Structure 1
């Protein structure tokens, strides 16, 4: 609720990040830093089976955590359902998705869902996303780490919102 209230107070559509089992504290810290840099309204992390806010996260965020709301939730899938009822779209990052980042309208109330290292999005969280989105890749490597993929998606959402402003 606080995350949506912050967006409303700024008269902006929500831009949130949800992390599904991201366990590396450096990925969490880097995503907090990027989310704050692009003006996101907050980050959602599960209470269990995920990195929490630690001194390493605080250091990696380079102070950004002081300016970004972090919500810990007991059930990420339920949180996505709650956000859906508030007309916030859940877009999960998945390499095998048919739609690419260029094909999806990111200028809307949005939560970008980033999967954990190695396994990506869990089936339950994936099933609760409104759509899945891939980041096209040209080289021999077919995936990016969670912080890089999430940062690319956040930057694309920010750019889409900037283009949509009068």
Structure 2
């Protein structure tokens, strides 16, 4: 029986032909997990290594976790920049269109990095959305803690239950800013978050009105009650007009539900009182953003 020949000593890791490939693969995996971009020859992040947002192909989409969001399309991008949406990078294929030139100028004025890119790369970054040769990367919003909204001796907090449209969130934040609210609290799940759409509708007021996320809205409302706040739910089932709510002059939480379903049962049961907006006209209900604006005006009048 023939003896087998030995293969000799095991080569060192750096001498193995596959070692470099494994190192590169590990580095790429770590960069993807931590969000650290790979540096190009110039020492700047390459467009291909930019964070890849995910989501539905639309004008503005929210990525999962802390990933940045992209606003795509000539009109959405220029409107977002006009509204003061905090961009971190502007990806452009060419500057021939008037709206693209305006976007480039506004980005330059606000020192937003301008990255020239090709169609294939922009298709990849936007997941195949209709981008029209331009996309604005928006930094992830940093939510406040719900307890941070308890400012001053008589805080005014707006809590949202079942609001899923970011435009409604932006409109409510705008009303909150106009009528002196200290902040807005939203549930972490099954609710609208701060997206580029919310920034646009808020007309920049998201920069001054904090938005907090609550793991459990019912539990957070109880925490506000324990902190001395009166919690009133805005609901068609309410028997007290919001204009007659004298208790709103103190620490107060206004809870606003969705237009279709109103307040959830547990949230409504937690409220100290349900209040309503009398409507002598023919409309059965109001848009959540409009209803919140009217209620906040009345509460502001009572508090003044």
Question: TM-score, structure 2 length as denominator?
Answer: 0.51
> Does 2:194 correspond to 1:53?
yes
1:62 matched to 2:203? The reply is: yes
1:60-119: per-residue Cα shift (whole Å, max 9, x none)?
Answer: 100000001110111000000000001101100011211112322121211100002310
Structure 1 residues 145-164: aligned runs within 5 Å? 145-162=287-304
Decide which structure has the larger Cα Rg and report it.
2
On the 8 A contact 2:259/2:285 being kept in 1, the answer is no
Q: Determine the structure 1 residue equivalent to 2:142.
A: none
Query: Please, which of 267, 270, 294 is the counterpart of residue 128 of structure 1?
Result: 270
Q: What value does the CA root-mean-square deviation take over the aligned residues?
A: 0.9
Aligned counterpart, 2:213: 72
| Structure 2 gap ranges (5+) | 1-146
The secondary structure found in structure 1 opposite 2:200 is helix
Distance 1:99 1:132 in 2: 7
Shift in CA distance, 40/32, structure 1 to aligned 2, threshold 3 Å: same
Map of 2:148 onto structure 1:
2
In structure 2, the residue corresponding to 1:31 is in which secondary structure?
Answer: helix
The corresponding residue for 1:89 is 230
Determine the C-alpha separation between the residues in 1 that align with 2:243 and 2:250. 15
Per-residue CA deviations over 1:120-159 (Å, capped at 9, x if unaligned) read 1000100110100010011111211100111111111111
Question: 279, 290, 293: which one pairs with 1:137?
Answer: 279
| Structure ranking higher on relative contact order (CA contacts 8 Å, 6+ apart) | 1
- 2:173 maps to 32
SS in 1 for 2:240: coil
Could you list the structure 1 runs, at least 4 aligned residues long, displaced by more than 6 angstroms after superposition.
none
Report the counterpart of residue 102 of structure 1 in structure 2: 243
TM-score by length of 1: 0.92
* Structure 1 unpaired stretches of 5+: none
* Bigger mean CA deviation after superposition, 123-132 or 98-107: 98-107
CA distance in 2, matches of 1:45, 1:2: 14
